[in-house]
Structure 1
Amino acid sequence: MDIEKDLTPSREGDRPPYADRWHTLSDWMRVHLRSKDPRFWSDAYPHTMTGIAVDHVVGMPHGWTVHLCVDDGEAIAMFYPPAERQGTVSVVSRPDDIAARMDLYRRYIWEPRDLAAEMWEQREAA
């Protein structure tokens, strides 16, 4: 679906585009819009932080799975070991500048394996 084509932008002052249609958008569309405009990073524009499961991440041990989600300019990765092993590892990435935070949303949508691999490296470095 082409968001720009299928929805009518808001026409109210400095409100972000599509603000008046927020409740009709899918979670993916909400994440997509958050990747373009940080004005959506407020409680006024909630989204369900369901995230996505990502398999076969470079550098991660075989059998591990990561559940990746983004919210308010931060990425959260929950790493799950194979069923026969115990424990869960979580990593949160909170960049300082707005451009880097917006990039997290873009990468979540278009490069989830790369983002998960980078977060796995952060986990190993900690």
Structure 2
Amino acid sequence: MPQKTIGVGVIWNEQGQILIDRRLQTGVLGGLWEFPGGKIEPGETVEECIKREIWEELGIEIEVGKHLITIEHIYTHLHVTLIVHHCDYVSGTPQPLECDEVRWVTLAEIDEFPFPEANAQIIAALRQNV
């Protein structure tokens, strides 16, 4: 089974909202919402990965903050390690460059959006840290 290590950013704005994006319909877990991020490249730190992926996917600048949680999850097709960090939004207008849609939501609204199974642990960790 393939294994991927993914850097994930929980991006906060000054209003206390979190940026989420909807995966392309055509991809794996298509149409589900997620916290943005991507595969860590060889020689890259988690923080560098998150910053690069957010720029590539959404076209915004962020500041990567403290570690929130690391999750090991096995889907039927993939074993993922999600290394999740809090991030602060710095500048730019979020654009759906590699996804279908982006949206700022509050933690209270997050249950209205369907996420991949592994993300439930991220949401639970966010609720514990508020």
TM-score (norm 1): 0.27
The structure whose Rg is larger is: 1
Q: In proportion to residue count, which structure has more helix?
A: 1
More relative contact order in 1 or in 2 (CA 8 Å, sep 6+)?
Answer: 2
Q: In proportion to residue count, which structure has more strand?
A: 2
